[in-house]
Amino acid sequence: MVRPRRALAAAVVLATTLAAFALDAAPGVKTASLNPAPNKTTSKSVAPSAKVTAPKGCPPGMAPVPTESGGFCIDRYEAAVVEVVGKKSKPNSPYVPVTTKRVKAISKKGVVPQGYISAVEAKAACEEAGKRLCTPDEWLKACQGKKPTTYPYGDDEVKGRCNGDGTRKHPVVELFGPNADAFADPNKMNDPRLNQLPDSLSKTGDHAKCKNGYGVYDMVGNLHEWTSDASGSVQFKGGYYMDTHKNGDGCFYKTTAHGPSYHDYSTGFRCCK
């Protein structure tokens, strides 16, 4: 025979258990766990931030840009080139295509950067210097600076800081008239006179305030800059002296319409490593 007190205790336990199951089965009803985890807190664990490191020993003329994968080096200035002849080099005009020439990229303040160059030729020029073309992601990372912004110097455009206001008469129109056919003519689009017109192409570093926190100049305006990703797809970035908005603002400017062999007066580059 079950004693009354023990029977009552057993009945209470059974009733509590059945009630808990009923509540768990009821839609939309939340109940506290009958067996809460010991020492459980409501605070969320935060994953440690990935370590950002910069490369050591960037070559002269290059700036280190830190990343989570060890960083990279980038030319401080848009590239000029020298022609390589045997084991020697000689000056090369920045106002003519480099087709059929063996050229090497140089990064130097106060020189006219090389326009009229294709992605294929720019890649070869970087490799001749022991470097490579920047990837689009590297280029954007460097352009935006240490505290990512739309322009190298901040989020708001300041007219005149970079060579990209586009306020002068279009150089192709100035030389060849308003006929749109000139823009489809490779010879006219590569005319050496285009980048020698007043208020057109500037020397590297002439716009001293067109600089980011890494000490890299002219990433917006002056010349379009070729980039290439791991698959070999190319695009040029940053705009040039006539336009820094049509295909994106400032650092976000990119053009993907042309293949790697395309070049005209507006196409330039810089190297990474």
Q: Is residue 154 in some structural domain?
A: yes
pLDDT of residue 50: 64
> Token pair 């766990």 is at which residue?
33
Q: Is residue 3 in some structural domain?
A: no
Task: Read off the pLDDT of each residue in 225-248 and give the average, rounded to a whole number.
Answer: 97
Task: Read off the pLDDT of each residue in 238-244 and give the average, rounded to a whole number.
Answer: 98
Model pTM score? 0.80
Q: Is residue 113 in some structural domain?
A: yes
Q: Is residue 203 in some structural domain?
A: yes
Calpha distance 231→258 (Å, rounded) = 16
Q: Is residue 144 in some structural domain?
A: yes
pLDDT at residue 96 greater than cutoff 60: yes
Domain with 219 in it: 62-272
Q: Is residue 52 in some structural domain?
A: no
For the chain, what percent of residues have pLDDT higher than 90?
Answer: 77
Q: Which of 4-8, 128-132, 140-144, 197-201 has the lowest mean pLDDT?
A: 4-8
Q: Is residue 246 in some structural domain?
A: yes
Task: Read off the pLDDT of each residue in 174-202 and give the average, rounded to a whole number.
Answer: 96
Q: Is residue 37 in some structural domain?
A: no
pLDDT at residue 24 greater than cutoff 80: no
pLDDT of residue 141: 97
Which has more confidence, 33 or 152?
A: 152
pLDDT, one tens digit per residue, over 53-77 is 878 889 999 999 999 989 999 999 9
Which has more confidence, 195 or 41?
A: 195
Query: What confidence category does residue 48 fall into, taking pLDDT thresholds of 50, 70 and 90?
Result: low
pLDDT of residue 34: 31
pLDDT at residue 37 greater than cutoff 50: no
Task: Report the number of distinct structural domains present in the chain.
Answer: 1
Question: Looking at residue 254, which CATH number applies to its domain?
Answer: 3.90.1580
pLDDT, one tens digit per residue, over 97-116 is 999 999 999 999 999 999 99
Task: Read off the pLDDT of each residue in 4-30 and give the average, rounded to a whole number.
Answer: 39
pLDDT of residue 47: 47
